[in-house]
Amino acid sequence: MTLAHRVGIGYDSHRFAEGHGVILGGVLIPAAVRCTGHSDADAVCHALTDAILGGAGVGDIGEMFPETKAENAGRDSIEMLRLAVARVRAAGWAPAQCDITVIAETPKLGPHRPAIRERLAAAIGVAPEQVMVKGKTNEGMGWIGHGEGLACVAVATLVRVAPG
Ligand code: MG
Q: HEC string of 71-115?
A: HHCCCCHHHHHHHHHHHHHHCCEEEEEEEEEEECCCCCCHHHHHH
Query: How far apart, in whole angstroms, are the C-alpha atoms of residue 122 and residue 26?
Result: 11
CA of 14 to the centre of ligand 1 (A): 6
Q: CA 161, CA 154: separation in Å to the nearest integer?
A: 22
| pLDDT score of 137 | 97
**Surface-to-core class of residue 146, CB atoms within 10 Å of its CB (0-12 exposed, 13-18 middle, 19+ buried):** exposed
Residue 36 CA to ligand 1 centre (angstroms): 9
Domain coordinates of the chain in residue numbers? 5-160
pLDDT of residue 100: 98
Q: What is the pLDDT of residue 123?
A: 98
- pLDDT of 70: 85
pLDDT in tens, 27-45: 999 999 999 998 899 999 9
8-state DSSP, 118: H
Total residues found in the chain within this entry: 164
Taking a C-beta distance cutoff of 8 angstroms, is the pair 84, 52 a contact? yes
How far apart CA 159 and CA 152 sit, in angstroms, is: 23
- From ligand 1's centre to the CA of 162, what distance in Å? 30
Q: How far is the CA of 64 from the centre of ligand 1 (A)?
A: 13
What Å distances lie between residue 57 and 12, 34, 91, 134, 163, CA to CA? 18, 32, 9, 26, 14
Walk along the chain (164 residues) and give the pLDDT tens digit of each residue.
678 999 999 999 999 999 999 999 999 999 999 999 988 999 999 999 999 999 999 999 999 998 888 888 888 999 999 999 999 999 999 999 999 999 999 999 999 999 999 999 999 999 999 999 999 999 999 999 999 999 999 999 999 997 65
Contact by Cβ (8 Å): 92, 58: no
Cα separation, 8 vs 68, in Å, equals 26
Q: Tell how far the Cα of 56 is from the centroid of ligand 1, in angstroms.
A: 20
List the Cα angle 38/148/61 in 5-degree steps.
30
What does each C-alpha distance from 47 to 52, 57, 75 come to in angstroms? 9, 15, 15
pTM of the entire predicted model: 0.96
d(CA 39, CA 32): 20
Q: Tell me which architecture the domain covering 5-160 has in CATH.
A: 2-Layer Sandwich (3.30)
What is the per-residue pLDDT for 163? 65
* Distance of CA 11 from the midpoint of ligand 1 (Å): 9
